[in-house]
């Protein structure tokens, strides 16, 4: 642990402030007191299946009703709502357009250059149907995986819903990933088509997405990809390969404006989304139709206590799970108005977020701690220039939030009147697991507070036994829930081992662990401390240290590499790489830049090391394991504590210190 991290933990440990929901907030809320929450929680705990059964029947449209709520006879492979058929695109669109919501705004989109597009539910329905029909003309059938490599344009959401409509699982690849990373995902998922754009605007620059797709497909390693659908966004010149590439604006608008929603079995795939683990290549997390839909829907309703007149904005990218669940599926399934923004705050427009809130009278704002810390640093003068009075609720997600940033968010952005929901969850959990409910839960700066109804969360030791109050341990979930990932695409064994067999079974039952450490206080509140595995969180982006290491060693000059995270005031963590070179290779000034570009090319610029330390050797145990604990201490310039007697060559330490 570094100095800063112990400082953060110290301040969290001594955090005693409690903020109760105001009467005004509680009176208007669905769940309006801690007792209400406790009652629902107890109900769900006593008879989970009944709880989920009722919720699923009440909240989703079923073409055919399900006959079994949960089949957990072969854990950890769960089947939810067996026998039923539904469609998330139907739940997000069709069921709203026959009623008063038909002409309600579903999506407000603002482009980086300030262009705005809005869609009513009816309009969105038509666009999704046309796109679904376009995909069918390209030969996409139920079960075919479609990859999306898109900027934050409405077509990204439309394409997701269109895929879901015809039962083609989507796999969204974040537009910041490199062509090599895209290629890996296309191969692993055996994608049949790619939907992309000529480019996207990112911080005043045009990013060439289609070129990256061309590069990914150029060497013939993804033979399953037969077509590429291209949205025109930046109008930069691109190559179009006849027979393979199609312009969206030429193919989609001429399609029939209705496409029936495919009746999907509950457990048929909705999407695959790649995320980083502590070992190996990124894993394709699989989510299925009904359970995911229910969880995104219910959690959105609970956490944001959504009202018909809310204008809701989540600043994530659709390339991450937050964008899936809380830009697209959760809000639309509830018939809410969701805002999508292509841009980001940047030196030319540091007030971009606040301008958007003022302009669209946004009432719910959901963002990441790293963004809040960056705003704190540039000072409150910037947000103070804008009218943020439309806000009624604030949310945070992606990494632990330090109490200072939480307080700043509350006072400066929320005018001390908006509750803050600090939502803990993961790609694997499909939706939020631990979070305050705005009208019910007293909040404490830095705590995600309590698990949602139906979620049995705990903090355990390495034997799987609950730890004492205030003691640190592994954050685990003890019961299956509808939104849980179902498997890793193509690797059910890895799914089982990495999430459900990491800790021993308790009473013969597997428990879910996905890498976070936490503690609970005497009120039962959860304080998430961050990852305890070799996954690092850089500005809310999740990266495996192994992935970055393999990117580094794939460079011809590099012999060995070890990557660790160093606590960073702004980004949460920054990336420090220790590198040994092949013999005969010398360290020079260009090498640092070259290795950074190499990692950018292999993974994407989000994985670029902030610092590279060149060394003759890495500290290893006699069995050849790199001692990361030592590297972490060295990276943050602190004393190496603990046992170093297992080091194979102690002189390595002295050299590294120099």
List interacting residues with ligand WT7 (CB under 6 A). 275, 321-322, 397-400, 422-427, 448, 514-516, 528, 530-531, 537, 542
Q: How far is the CB of 528 from ligand WT7 (least distance, A)?
A: 4
Q: How far is the CB of 559 from ligand WT7 (least distance, A)?
A: 31
- The four Cα atoms 475, 476, 482, 484 give a dihedral, to 10 degrees, of 80
Residue 305 or 399 with smaller CB distance to ligand WT7: 399
Give φ, ψ of 458 to 5 degrees: -155, 165
- Residue ranges of E strands in 98-199: 105-110, 116-120, 146-149, 170-172, 193-197
Residue 356 or 397 with smaller CB distance to ligand WT7: 397
Residue 542 or 571 with smaller CB distance to ligand WT7: 542
Q: How far is the CB of 189 from ligand WT7 (least distance, A)?
A: 18
Q: What CA–CA distance (Å, rounded) separates 513 from 508? A: 16
Identify the three-state secondary structure at position 494. helix
Rg of the chain over CA atoms, in angstroms?
24
Q: How far is the CB of 425 from ligand WT7 (least distance, A)?
A: 4
Residue 209 or 514 with smaller CB distance to ligand WT7: 514
Q: How far is the CB of 526 from ligand WT7 (least distance, A)?
A: 9
Q: How far is the CB of 463 from ligand WT7 (least distance, A)?
A: 22
Residue 111 or 284 with smaller CB distance to ligand WT7: 284
Q: How far is the CB of 640 from ligand WT7 (least distance, A)?
A: 25
User: How wide is the angle at C-alpha 561 spanned by C-alphas 558 and 564, nearest 5°?
Assistant: 150
Please name which of 130, 543, 149, 153 lies closest in space to residue 327, comparing C-alpha atoms.
153
Identify the three-state secondary structure at position 551. helix
Residue 248 or 406 with smaller CB distance to ligand WT7: 406
Residue 201 or 425 with smaller CB distance to ligand WT7: 425
Residue 325 or 636 with smaller CB distance to ligand WT7: 325
Q: How far is the CB of 534 from ligand WT7 (least distance, A)?
A: 12
Q: How far is the CB of 398 from ligand WT7 (least distance, A)?
A: 4
Residue 425 · residue 397 · CB < 8 Å? yes
Residue 124 · residue 106 · CB < 8 Å? yes
Other Cβ atoms within 10 Å of 500 Cβ, number: 18
Residue 335 · residue 121 · CB < 8 Å? yes
- Residue ranges of E strands in 549-652: 558-568, 572-581, 611-614
Q: Is the dihedral of CA 18, 23, 25, 30 positive or negative?
A: positive
H helix count then E strand count, the chain: 23, 30
Residue 530 or 609 with smaller CB distance to ligand WT7: 530
Q: How far is the CB of 423 from ligand WT7 (least distance, A)?
A: 5
Residue 111 or 430 with smaller CB distance to ligand WT7: 430
Burial status of residue 43 (CB atoms within 10 A of its CB: 0-12, 13-18, 19 or more): middle
3 state SS for 3-43: HHHHHHHHHHHCCCCCECCCHHHHHCCCCCCHHHHHHHHHH
């Amino acid at each position: 642990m570094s100095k800063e991290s112990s400082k953060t933990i110290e301040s969290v440990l001594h955090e005693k402030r409690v903020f109760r929901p105001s009467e005004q907030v509680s009176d208007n809320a669905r769940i309006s007191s801690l007792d209400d929450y406790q009652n629902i929680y107890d109900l769900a705990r006593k008879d989970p299946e009944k709880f989920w059964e009722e919720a699923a029947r009440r909240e989703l449209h079923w073409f055919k009703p399900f006959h079994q709520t949960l089949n957990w006879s072969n854990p950890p492979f769960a089947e939810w709502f067996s026998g039923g058929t539904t469609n998330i695109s139907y739940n997000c669109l069709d069921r709203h357009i026959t009623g008063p919501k038909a002409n309600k705004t579903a999506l407000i989109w603002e482009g980086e250059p300030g262009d705005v597009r809005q869609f009513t539910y009816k309009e969105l329905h038509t666009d999704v149907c046309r796109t679904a029909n376009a995909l069918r003309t390209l030969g996409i059938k139920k079960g075919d995986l479609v990859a999306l490599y898109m900027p934050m344009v409405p077509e990204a959401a439309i394409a997701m819903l269109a895929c879901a409509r015809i039962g083609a699982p989507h796999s969204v690849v974040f537009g910041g990933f490199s062509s090599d990373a895209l290629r890996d995902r296309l191969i692993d998922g055996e994608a049949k088509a790619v939907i992309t754009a000529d480019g996207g605007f990112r911080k005043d620059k045009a990013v060439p997405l289609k070129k990256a797709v061309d590069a990914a497909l150029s060497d013939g390693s993804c033979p399953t990809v037969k077509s590429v659908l291209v949205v025109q966004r930046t109008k930069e010149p691109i190559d179009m390969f006849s027979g393979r590439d199609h312009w969206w604006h030429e193919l989609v608008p001429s399609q029939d404006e209705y496409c029936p929603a495919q009746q999907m079995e509950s457990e048929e795939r909705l999407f695959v989304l790649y995320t980083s683990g502590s070992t190996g290549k990124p894993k394709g997390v699989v989510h299925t139709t009904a359970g995911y839909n229910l969880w995104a829907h219910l959690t959105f309703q609970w956490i944001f206590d959504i009202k018909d007149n809310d204008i809701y904005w989540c600043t994530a990218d659709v390339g991450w799970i937050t964008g899936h669940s809380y830009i697209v599926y959760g809000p639309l399934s509830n018939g809410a108005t969701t805002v999508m923004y292509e841009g980001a705050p940047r030196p030319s427009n540091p007030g971009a977020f606040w301008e958007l809130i003022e302009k669209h009278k946004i009432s719910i704002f959901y963002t990441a701690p790293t963004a809040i810390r960056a705003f704190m640093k540039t000072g409150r003068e910037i947000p103070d220039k804008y009218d943020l009075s439309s806000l009624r609720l604030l949310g945070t997600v992606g990494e632990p939030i330090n109490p200072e940033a939480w307080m700043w968010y509350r006072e400066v952005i929320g005018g001390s009147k908006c509750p803050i929901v600090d939502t803990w969850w993961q790609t694997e959990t499909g939706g939020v697991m631990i979070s305050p409910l705005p009208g019910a839960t007293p909040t404490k700066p830095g705590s995600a507070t309590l698990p949602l109804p139906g979620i049995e969360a705990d903090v355990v030791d390495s034997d799987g036994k609950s730890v004492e109050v205030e003691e640190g341990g592994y954050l685990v979930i003890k019961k299956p829930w509808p939104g849980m990932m179902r498997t890793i695409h193509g690797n059910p064994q890895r799914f089982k081992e990495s999430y459900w067999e990491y800790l021993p079974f308790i009473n013969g039952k597997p428990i879910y662990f996905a890498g976070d450490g936490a503690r609970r206080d005497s009120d039962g509140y959860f304080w998430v401390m961050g990852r305890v595995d070799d996954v690092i969180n850089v500005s809310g982006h999740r990266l495996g240290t192994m992935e970055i290491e393999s990117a580094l060693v794939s460079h011809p000059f590099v012999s060995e590499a070890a990557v660790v995270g160093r606590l960073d005031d702004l980004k949460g963590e920054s990336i420090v790489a220790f590198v040994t070179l092949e013999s005969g290779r010398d360290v020079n000034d260009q090498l640092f830049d070259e290795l950074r570009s190499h990692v950018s090319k292999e993974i994407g610029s989000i994985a670029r090391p902030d610092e590279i330390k060149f060394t003759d050797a890495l500290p290893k145990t006699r069995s050849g394991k790199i001692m990361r604990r030592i590297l972490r201490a060295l990276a943050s310039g602190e004393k190496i504590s603990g046992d170093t007697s297992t080091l194979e060559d102690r002189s390595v330490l002295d050299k590294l210190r120099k």
